[in-house]
Chains A and B, each alone.
Chain A
Amino acid sequence: MDIVQLTIDNKKVVVEKGTTILEAAKTIGVDVPTLCHMKLEDTNFENKPGGCRVCVVEVEGRRNLAPACKTECTEGMMVNTHSVRVVNARRTVMELILSDHPFDCLVCAKSGDCELQSLAQNLGIREIKYTGAKSTYKGDESPAIIRDMDKCIMCRRCETACNEVQTVGVLSAINRGFESVVAPAFEMDLDHSTCTFCGQCVAVCPTGALTERDSSSKVMDAIVNPKKKVIVQTAPAVRAALGEEFGMEAGTLVTGKMVSALRKLGFDYVFDTDFAADLTIMEEGTELLDRLSKHLAGDKEVKLPILTSCCPGWVNFFEHQFPEMIDIPSTAKSPQQMFGAIAKTYFADQLKEKREDVVVVSVMPCLAKKYECSRDEFAVDGDPDVNISISTRELAQMIRNANLNFEALEEDDFDNPLGESTGAAVIFGTTGGVIEAAVRTAYEVHTKKPLERLDFEELRGMEGIRSATIDFDGLPINIGIAHGLGNARKLLEDIKAGKSQFHAIEIMACPGGCIGGGGQPYHHGNMEILKKRQKAIYEEDKGKTLRKSHENPFIQKLYAEFLGEPCGHKSHELLHTHYYDKKKKVEI
């Protein structure tokens, strides 16, 4: 290993060759302020265009200031991170950025969670000497994401997320000079682009330029409407992150408090998307075994590997980018949509309510879910199975609006019948969880033997692409896992080229899976937060008495009373969907 020795703020530092000044400074406790830079450890996300110039430092012998995030340490380098020249430059650059930014912090969705705001505070900017015109851009409001580019500071994080991490390629810098902004080509609306609404752009945006469409007021409208029965479902990853919004340590499980809060907000029934996750496993697992047994019987037509389909960002991705492969993913709907379909049939019948008088609200870690529930095929006569989808952040805001002291809330339990779930459903919230849940059920159904070990460590972790072979009592099943659409693309290219060795692949659009979803509390680049959420999810699974989806008594009851059998006629009608070739839908 090549090492270099340098001096930063009069301290000697020894680092590996290739280390940036920013990283080297960190090792001696010097935090050089940054704005555009963001690095998510363990993923392939690193945004360092060197564009904001806030991290400039003085390097002896160099004509101009050096961006610490982009400048590699060299032997004998003398760095000063806080000379008068540096501080003046940094503050002036910050003033410039602020001079081209709206001053509506008080009513901005990101207020208090804005990196620009906190940096301005840290630098103590109290006046802006360089005032002038502000750049303004066309607004863009899709069902999931709102773009207010007047607030864009050209950090390019969204572009990196969209192009390099997700390989979706919708966002890029357009125009020149003062008019430069990140936008879809020709400034078309996201809705008309090939955007998957994964929301990773929102997750990394340091300002209020990219936010979710806030539907919380619609939820309150439904709650106060006496004619409506309002049902809420909460996705597994929400409970592992919601507490962060109230100052709790990342990874604190707040399931009981969340249920309690939802009840206090006035929902008539507080249910769990996890119930539908168990249902998903019944359907998807059955579909997997069906395709597998046909394959083993020599059927050349059968499509393998089977791909999971619970992630709406991922569904959008293959519909836009791999339309020739739309017959490969499982036809099972996502848990959100399965829940809606059951709630508006089976449960509405129990309530003796018409489906249009039942309002299904979902709380999701996800922004693509907002889009998903608005898809035409998920509605009956114009009445959507899931009426409104809100994010973890929106729920937190509703709790704050209701003046609830979240930490002090008592723990409460979900309602039945759609609130009961197994540990297999809980782990849907992390990368690898869906396939692990599927394996737990498929193994027992296929081998008709009880599983001896339930924790498939080989399927867990944060690696972007993982694989493992699970022994189904003599039958080796090859499993692939990808999270982040860029990683998904790699596996898809393999399938397309006929090189894939997998029988089943789990794909989640967001890095980390749903725990890293676009609707979660902002991680601001700290990957430890995602890891803690993941740990919490596995802990919840471990604490459950029932950890296999097919053992969920309410699922068993649902099949006995209503659905018949997995992948049966009724299931197909309610719980399965089809996909569209969206390649031609791009309008310019």
Chain B
Amino acid sequence: MAKYKNHVLVCGGTGCRASQGEEIVYNLNRVIEENGLEQEVQVVRTGCFGFCEKGPVVKMVPDNTFYVQVSPDDAEEIVKEHLVKGRQVERLLYTDPETKKHVSESKNMGFYKKQIRIALRNCGFINPENIDEYIARDGYASLGMAITEMKPEEVIRIIIDSGLRGRGGGGFPTGLKWDITRKVESDQKYVVCNADEGDPGAFMDRSILEGDPHSVLEAMAINGYCTGANQGLIYIRAEYPLAISRLKIAIQQAREYGLLGKDIFGTGFDFDVELRYGAGAFVCGEETSLIHSMEGLRGEPTVKPPFPSESGYKGKPTNVNNVETYANIPVILMKGAKWFSSIGTEKSKGTKVFALAGKVNNVGLIEVPMGTTLREVIFDIGGGIKDGKKFKAVQTGGPSGGCLTEKHLDIPIDYDNLIASGSMMGSGGMIVMDEDDCMVSMAKFYLDFTVEESCGKCAPCRIGNKRLYEMLHKITEGKGTEEDLSNLRNLSNVIKDTSLCGLGQTSPNPVLSTMENFWDEYMAHVKEDKCPAGQCKSLMQYIISEEKCVGCTLCSRVCPVDAITGDKKAPHVINPTTCIKCGACFEKCKFGAISIQ
């Protein structure tokens, strides 16, 4: 293996690639070659660094300089200045928003300070397409140890003792699940990885698969050893082409190294992994739906029991875990249950990866110890609310979760606290909202998603969510009544109470939690025909202040529907029936004469 003095790590996650990451790699290689450094410097495409807000990210190793928002044109300077002359390119360094000073190392950035990366340990460090780099970071050592030195029960004991709970949303103790599958007698068992990540805005699993696919393969093999399965299946949505291609490479390499396939480590243990593609139905994240989809059937759930651990894929005992859950396994075996359980809260151990999105300054992928507060996540890691606006709410758990408010900010995040607060952990989507976000519209947005994604099997979810959406729409149109609000609440409760699977059992949560926390906002829509956040167009009215208007006519000229009339140098008037509330006049007025009411 060639030895390089320097490595240039370029984020190769989907987000940074979409921001010309590939061109950066191309240009870096070109300039490195032009400068004759190709023997000394290697450019590596890694997985996601997490700091997506500032992507594309380029990290220089060994000095750990962390360049942000790099463009392909910057390649030349990075090579000539940093690599040739040994001088940092200051303009590409991260600027601390408070001190306004450059920060060159990620560990000193607010975004990274409170993070502990266990599941994401290799993302942004290694080339996910090179198994040697994974092995160099103790990869496959846990598998080797498990199958050569330990009994399945002993491995499961460690997982149970570690306190690891399912990261897909349910939070079921992982070790217990493995143990149940292990105890069911069958000639054939399956290990399934649920990579059907479907929450809007979530990309935790995708990033792990793109950045560290071997950790999942290794964990699945360990699971196979523990449960008595020799076939692994990864159910991944076809919209994740990069993750798929990296997984394919990883599986191929693992087979070549004898880490997948027959007689692994000469122990007689066989295990192999195949991919199964999903068409992107949210409900297929529910394990029985996922299994049906893999079987070629309609992706819809069936009543549990029987649980997949008893009767799953092709009717055989099947252990289904999520990507992030698997990514934790090799480290837990390596460092021990005690180490893992020392992180986190009493009932939720370890860390959780979140896709932090919405109105925060630092959008990105983060991993924090359980017990970190929402305030730390949003304000310390997330850097606070964009444009200095006021924090209003945060939605955790995706469409199944609920919104949490100011009063929940200091609650330590774990499975149980989130549920107690009316939300849930979910798979890790976290969307932050500010004062301009209307909570009724927010609930409507999620219901729109659920209506689309319901499989249609059970009546409450199929029809009930549609009706919830319609009522919310009516309210945002200013046509809602107080009776609608009571119907909304009753219907939400019935849908939760009667739906067949987790999708319907949780889909009204955004409605119920916004009603709980923002009742006044609902009432304002219904009783006063007002949207306090000013987001519901039907309830908005643009008004020109007679005092402030100087009659410059600019507004009337930009109005696309000629709703504004008035003589030159005389106050103008907006005709509310013609106005389409596009906001063009509001943007143009130089005198602040136009306001929204």
Contacts and interface: CB of A to CB of B under 8 A. Distances in A.
| A, B co-complexed | yes
Interface residues of A, number: 37
Given A96-B463, A97-B463, A180 B494 contact: no
Interface of B: 281, 298, 300, 302-303, 305, 451-460, 462-467, 470-471, 487, 490-491, 494, 496-500, 505
A177 B487 contact: no
Contacts of A53: 458-460, 498-500
Contact of B303 (A67, A93, A176): A67
27 contacts: A49-B457, A51-B459, A64-B496, A64-B499, A65-B497, A67-B303, A88-B490, A92-B490, A92-B491, A96-B459, A96-B460, A96-B463, A96-B464, A97-B459, A97-B463, A99-B463, A133-B466, A133-B470, A154-B457, A173-B298, A176-B454, A176-B456, A177-B456, A177-B462, A178-B454, A178-B465, A180-B456
Given A92-B490, A176-B281, A176-B452, A52 B458 contact: yes
B470 A132 contact: yes
Contact of B458 (A50, A92, A179): A50
A99 B487 CA distance: 14
A72 B306 CA distance: 10
Contact of A177 (B298, B305, B466): B466
B459 A153 contact: yes
Contact of A130 (B487, B498, B499): B487
A586 B511 CA distance: 46
Contacts of A51: 457-459, 500
A153 B454 CA distance: 15
Q: Which A-B residue pairs are the 9 nearest by beta carbons?
A: A180-B456, A177-B454, A132-B470, A96-B463, A92-B494, A130-B467, A70-B303, A53-B498, A178-B466
Contact of A180 (B462, B487, B490, B498): B462
Contacts of B496: 64
A371 B194 CA distance: 47
Contacts of B302: 49-50
Chain B, interface SS category: helix
Contacts of B460: 53, 92-93, 96
Contacts of B281: 176
Given A89-B497, A129-B487, A177-B451, A64 B505 contact: yes
A278 interface: no
A549 B103 CA distance: 101
A538 B311 CA distance: 45
A58 to B, nearest CB: 9
A72 B305 CA distance: 9
Contacts of A173: 298, 300, 456-457
B463 A56 contact: no
Interface in A154-184: 154, 172-173, 175-180
A100 interface: yes
Contacts of B452: 176-177
Given A130-B463, A130-B491, A177-B466, 6 more contacts: A50-B458, A88-B494, A96-B464, A100-B463, A133-B466, A178-B454
A85 B467 CA distance: 20
Nearest to B304: A70
Nearest to A174: B298
B354 to A, nearest CB: 26
Given A50-B500, A64-B497, A178 B456 contact: yes
B222 to A, nearest CB: 32
Interface string A39-51: 0000000000111
B497 to A, nearest CB: 5
B455 A177 contact: yes
Contact of B494 (A72, A89, A97, A154): A89
Contacts of A92: 460, 490-491, 494, 498
Nearest to A132: B470
A133, A175, A178: most-surrounded residue (chain B CB, <10 A) = A178
Contacts of A153: 459
Contacts of A133: 466, 470
A153 B453 CA distance: 18
Contacts of A97: 459, 463
Contacts of B490: 88, 92
A100 B460 CA distance: 11
A580 to B, nearest CB: 30
Contact of A178 (B458, B463, B500, B505): B463
Contacts of B470: 132-133
Contacts of B303: 50, 67, 70-71
Nearest to B484: A129
B297 to A, nearest CB: 9
Contacts of B462: 154, 177-178, 180
B281, B459, B465: most-surrounded residue (chain A CB, <10 A) = B459
A475 to B, nearest CB: 44
B128 to A, nearest CB: 33
A93 B498 contact: yes
Contacts of B464: 93, 96, 130
A89 B499 CA distance: 10
Interface string A559-577: 0000000000000000000
Contacts of B455: 176-177, 180
Interface in A308-357: none
